[in-house]
Amino acid sequence: MSAPARILLSGEGRAGFVLLLLFALLALTAPLVFPGDPLAITAPPLLTPFTDGAHPLGADRLGRDIAAELAWGARTTLLVALASALASLVLGTVIGTLAGFLGGWVDDVLMRISDAFQTVPAFLLAMALISITGPSLPAIVLAIAAGAWPQPARIARAEIRSLRERDFVAAARVAGMHPLAIAFREILPNALTPVISLAAIIAAAAVLIEAALSFLGFGDPNRPSWGSMVAEGRAMLRSAPSLSLIPGLALVLIVLAIHLLGRGYAKALRVREPVA
């Protein structure tokens, strides 16, 4: 049985998969269910949830449809989570592979760079980079990835160092393969499993960092974001608590879903095929 299939064997894996699937469906169907500009004013201001079939979750103080913002915000959240995790894993894996395989001064330089990035909290680093580049979705993804790559880099380095003296590596050297080809084609595929296991942690952190950036006004102003929705409703927590509670609950659920799926993946790695 493949690892993705074994994830569903655990209760955590199934729960996380179902929750993430629901959020993915919400994001994918947003243009069909809520066509047009999700930030357009389409309803009376502060419309109470479940009182109008056309706007089931009500409207904010400007008259924007909460349901439309929530659905389109799911696209932003999932895109940032997936892109940030992918970018940080790719960057960290490449740097960790080079450091672990080449060793020497290359290892020292790359690990000192990693140490420099790790001394700055990921959120503060992201906020500083966004302040320089300006708020946009690609800038947010790169800013989050810049703070997340050192961890996969260190794990990849440790795995590569433990594998580089194996017999299959020596055989590849004898066969005349280029050192980089040996590192990335022969060793790296055997070292990817623990690196990939970090994807859930990085994606969950990316969701929270993007929401925090949007909450503070550093998000992309042209895209709906759950963080900006929470910020919009904070001034009306007493009179209209749903403005912040609905997107806040969505953030809790998607982080929980990623965490559960990550636990399911960790359990799947410990499952061994039965011996025939």
Report the C-alpha gap between 23 and 36 in whole angstroms. Answer: 20
**pLDDT (tens digit per residue) in 195-249:** 888 899 999 999 999 999 999 989 888 889 999 999 988 888 888 899 999 999 9
**How large is the average pLDDT for residues 86-101?**
93
User: Residue 157: is its pLDDT beyond 70?
Assistant: yes
Q: Say if CB 196 and CB 90 are below 8 A apart.
A: no
The CATH code of domain 3-33+66-270 reads 1.10.3720.10
Whole-prediction pTM value?
Answer: 0.88
**What residue ranges do the domains of the chain occupy?**
3-33+66-270
Q: Distance between alpha carbon 244 and the CA centroid of its chain, in Å? A: 22
Report the C-alpha gap between 72 and 77 in whole angstroms. Answer: 9
